[in-house]
């Protein structure tokens, strides 16, 4: 009998959680592990491990191939560039206290794509071999340059599948912008920090800006429905909003997904919100209370299913490998291959955080530019360290198959990529999040199972979500 | 301290035991690890933690460490096959 690589974690609820390389898992007691350590496994132990895919007979070729297939399913396969974040302008008509890109003033010259950059972007689009394209327009405030957005979208007609997202503060929604919004392949992403007061304090600054935002948000939802538009809050972890107030702000507008996002330690936030460098136990406790409150509300009112977006993403990483394409949590996480960011001056960055770091003057992580390309030595150097397979801490971590690697986050926080993994914020955050998720997975409460099943997009509620062997 | 437990370091498996102990504070930040007089001492000041929870952590760390080497070999074989 061959055992698949297995890691064990003592959970908060008293179980011993065992996870193999492919992400298959079960909960057990210390007794099984004692027998495993003493080479005293019983026939019943062996039968369980075999049935659950944790052990394979040497003659079982199919079992071996299944293991390889499941292992490959866990790994990111990034090949063709088909996801672009475009920054047609860095200018913005607001000045949020935690602006992660240190936006340029509304009338500052030199912060929009020039003709040469636009031409290079359009020509680059022509060369992409993929039949799919996803483009996010970021800023600055991209709606300040609808002409550039339109030029890009028009050039993408040849793609079989297209998806466009305009990330906007919704301060400007005139006929020209509405003409863009009308496209069925275009989605709107905005920020909503909670109730009007909180949103104004963090972002809109004045009553008139706040009123305009709320008016435009409601108008867009009325016109297109809540599924055309997504919103996410940025939370100051030192003063998080009341949980029900925040949920009500979203649910009241028809949003069912809330991405609870603490201030990113970038841009203006590095100076104005220096505590955002590390998230502490208080933030993690707030996040847990938030998710548990959503579970309660989902159970009480089953007409709608609310979710905390990142919790759902992580849950689906456990059960549905390959279902998500969340570029902030994947392994390996190669940079500059399947997605890139093209800045207002044509500079190419591997991620949006890398762009923010450069704007903050911390480190230049650009990998090239849209005119001369980005097949650079810098990119290859970073990509040599883009996986969690070989790290000794990750090799001992039960959550390695579900987790990822974020080089840029490490550079942002510590100025280096070789920090012991367990000492990084990325690792601490995910260790805690997966601990929490497994607590929920093994929770027998029907309300918890109901929410988890919906977040997994299941039609029914399975009797159990995780195997148990006692 | 809310709880403390000690484990002997068997000579024949001292490398595995010491390595298991070394990883515990990273994976369980509320647990402190000391080594004294041929023993590993685990302790925690976390409210609600007891000797039983420390024992479970020790069993998990030891099992992971025992399986780690075999795991690395199996994984390397698998990746070599996948790369073909």
pLDDT of residue B22: 96
Please state the rounded mean pLDDT for residues A3-11: 90
CA A30 → CA A57, A212, A470, distances in Å?
A: 25, 60, 9
pLDDT at A133 over 90: yes
pLDDT of residue A29: 95
pLDDT at A271 over 80: no
Asked if A130 and A81 touch (Cβ cutoff 8 Å), the reply is: yes
B16 touches chain A (CB under 8 A): no
The whole-angstrom distance between B10's CA and the closest CA on chain A is 14
Substitution target from A2, A3, A8, A278 for chain B, most B beta carbons within 10 A: A8
pLDDT at A307 over 70: yes
Please state the rounded mean pLDDT for residues A43-68: 91
CA A132 → CA A83, A101, A118, A328, distances in Å?
A: 9, 28, 21, 20
Asked if A130 and A80 touch (Cβ cutoff 8 Å), the reply is: yes
pLDDT at A266 over 70: no
Asked if A201 and A241 touch (Cβ cutoff 8 Å), the reply is: no
> What is the predicted ipTM?
0.95
CA angle A255, A261, A266 (to 5 degrees): 135
pLDDT of residue A275: 61
CATH homologous superfamily for A83-342?
Aldolase class I (3.20.20.70)
Please state the rounded mean pLDDT for residues B70-74: 84
pLDDT at A142 over 70: yes
The two structure tokens encoding residue A25: 């898992």
The closest of B57, B15, B63 to A34, measured between CA atoms, is B63
Substitution target from B53, B71, B76, B83 for chain A, most A beta carbons within 10 A: B71
The closest of A176, A119, A110, A122 to A147, measured between CA atoms, is A176
The two structure tokens encoding residue A230: 């997504």
Using a pLDDT cut of 90, give the percent of chain A over it: 70
Among candidates A2, A5, A10 on the partner chain, residue whose Cβ is nearest the Cβ of B60: A10
A136, burial (CB in 10 Å: exposed 0-12, middle 13-18, buried 19+)? buried
Q: Do A33 and B59 touch (CB under 8 A)?
A: yes
Asked if A198 and A242 touch (Cβ cutoff 8 Å), the reply is: no
**Separation CA A261–CA A255 (nearest Å):** 16
Asked if A236 and A263 touch (Cβ cutoff 8 Å), the reply is: yes
Asked if A160 and A182 touch (Cβ cutoff 8 Å), the reply is: no
pLDDT of residue B47: 86
Q: Do B71 and A395 touch (CB under 8 A)?
A: yes
Substitution target from B10, B29, B67, B80 for chain A, most A beta carbons within 10 A: B67
Q: Do B27 and A9 touch (CB under 8 A)?
A: yes
The three-state secondary structure class of B28 is coil
Substitution target from B48, B77, B78 for chain A, most A beta carbons within 10 A: B78
pLDDT in tens, A235-254: 888 888 899 999 999 999 99
pLDDT at A148 over 90: yes
pLDDT in tens, A354-384: 888 888 888 888 999 999 998 878 788 889 9
pLDDT at A222 over 80: yes
Do β-strands A161-167 and A132-137 pair in parallel, antiparallel, or remain unpaired? Answer: parallel
Query: What band does A403 get if pLDDT is binned at 50, 70 and 90?
Result: very high
Q: Which residues pair with A257 in a beta bridge?
A: A307
Number of domains making up chain B: 1
pLDDT of residue B5: 94
A41 touches chain B (CB under 8 A): no
Q: Do A71 and B82 touch (CB under 8 A)?
A: yes
A13 touches chain B (CB under 8 A): no
**Separation CA B38–CA A360 (nearest Å):** 51
Tell me which residue range forms the domain holding B27: 3-83
Residue B30's CATH number: 3.30.1360
Spell out the residues 6+ positions from residue A115 whose beta carbon is closer than 8 angstroms to its own.
none
For chain A, domain boundaries: 1-74, 83-342
**Separation CA A441–CA A448 (nearest Å):** 8
Query: What band does A436 get if pLDDT is binned at 50, 70 and 90?
Result: very high
Among candidates B26, B64, B66 on the partner chain, residue whose Cβ is nearest the Cβ of A422: B26
A71 touches chain B (CB under 8 A): yes
pLDDT at A106 over 70: yes
pLDDT of residue A37: 83
Query: What band does A305 get if pLDDT is binned at 50, 70 and 90?
Result: very high
Please state the rounded mean pLDDT for residues A344-359: 91
**Separation CA A259–CA B44 (nearest Å):** 34
pLDDT of residue A137: 98
Q: Which residues pair with A467 in a beta bridge?
A: A26
pLDDT of residue A272: 61
pLDDT of residue A257: 93
**Separation CA A116–CA A61 (nearest Å):** 57
Kindly report the average pLDDT of chain B as a whole number. 91
pLDDT of residue A265: 63
A415, burial (CB in 10 Å: exposed 0-12, middle 13-18, buried 19+)? exposed
**Separation CA A70–CA B7 (nearest Å):** 38
Query: What band does B19 get if pLDDT is binned at 50, 70 and 90?
Result: very high
A116 touches chain B (CB under 8 A): no
Please state the rounded mean pLDDT for residues B51-71: 92
Among candidates A34, A68, A422 on the partner chain, residue whose Cβ is nearest the Cβ of B78: A68
The whole-angstrom distance between B36's CA and the closest CA on chain A is 24
Please state the rounded mean pLDDT for residues A84-108: 85
**Separation CA A357–CA A412 (nearest Å):** 7
């Amino acid at each position: 009998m061959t055992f698949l690589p297995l890691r064990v974690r003592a959970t908060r609820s008293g179980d011993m959680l065992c996870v193999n390389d492919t992400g298959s898992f079960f909960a057990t007691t210390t007794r099984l592990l004692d027998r495993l350590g003493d080479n005293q496994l019983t026939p019943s132990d062996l039968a369980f491990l075999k049935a659950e895919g944790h052990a394979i007979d040497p003659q079982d070729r199919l079992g071996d191939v299944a293991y390889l297939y499941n292992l490959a399913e866990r790994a990111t396969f990034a090949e063709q560039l088909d996801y672009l974040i475009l920054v047609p302008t860095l200018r913005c008509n607001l000045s949020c206290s935690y602006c992660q890109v240190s936006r340029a003033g509304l009338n500052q010259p030199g912060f929009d794509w020039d003709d040469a950059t636009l031409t290079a972007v359009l020509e680059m689009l022509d060369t992409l071999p993929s039949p799919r394209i996803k483009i996010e327009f970021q800023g600055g405030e991209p709606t300040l340059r609808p002409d550039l957005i339109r030029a890009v979208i028009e050039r993408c007609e040849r793609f079989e599948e297209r998806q466009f997202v305009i990330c906007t503060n919704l301060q400007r929604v005139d006929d020209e912008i509405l003409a863009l919004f009308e496209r069925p392949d275009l989605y709107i992403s905005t920020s909503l920090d909670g109730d009007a007061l909180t949103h104004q304090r963090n972002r809109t600054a004045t009553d008139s800006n706040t009123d305009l935002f709320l008016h435009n948000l409601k108008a867009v939802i009325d016109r297109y429905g809540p599924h055309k538009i997504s919103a996410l809050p940025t939370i100051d972890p030192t003063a998080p909003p009341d949980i029900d107030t925040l949920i009500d702000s979203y649910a009241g507008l028809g949003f069912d997904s809330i991405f609870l996002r603490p201030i990113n330690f970038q841009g203006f936030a590095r100076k104005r919100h220096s505590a955002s460098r590390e998230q502490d136990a208080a933030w993690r406790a707030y996040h847990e209370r938030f998710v548990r409150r959503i579970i309660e509300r989902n159970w009480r009112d089953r007409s709608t299913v609310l979710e905390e977006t990142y919790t759902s993403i992580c849950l689906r990483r456990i059960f549905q490998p390959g279902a998500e394409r969340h570029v902030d949590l994947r392994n390996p996480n190669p940079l500059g291959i399947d997605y890139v960011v093209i800045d207002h001056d044509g500079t190419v960055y591997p991620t949006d955080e890398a762009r923010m770091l450069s704007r903050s003057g911390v480190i230049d992580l650009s990998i090239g530019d849209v005119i001369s390309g980005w097949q650079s030595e810098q990119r290859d150097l970073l990509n040599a360290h883009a996986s969690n397979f070989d790290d000794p801490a990750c090799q001992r971590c039960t959550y390695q198959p579900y987790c990822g690697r974020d080089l840029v986050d490490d550079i942002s926080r510590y100025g280096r990529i070789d920090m012991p993994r367990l000492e990084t914020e990325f690792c601490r955050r995910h260790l805690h999040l997966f601990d929490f998720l497994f607590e929920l997975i093994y929770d027998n409460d029907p309300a918890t199972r109901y929410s988890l099943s919906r977040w997994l997009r299941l039609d029914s509620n399975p009797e159990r979500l995780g195997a148990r062997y006692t | 301290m809310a709880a403390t437990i000690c484990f002997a370091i068997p000579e024949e498996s001292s490398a595995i035991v010491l390595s298991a102990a070394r990883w515990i504070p990273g994976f369980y930040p509320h647990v402190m690890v000391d080594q004294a007089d041929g023993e590993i001492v685990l302790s925690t000041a976390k409210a609600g933690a007891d000797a039983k929870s420390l024992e479970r952590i020790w069993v998990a760390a030891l099992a992971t460490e025992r399986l780690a080497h075999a795991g690395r070999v199996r994984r390397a074989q698998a990746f070599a096959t996948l790369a073909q």
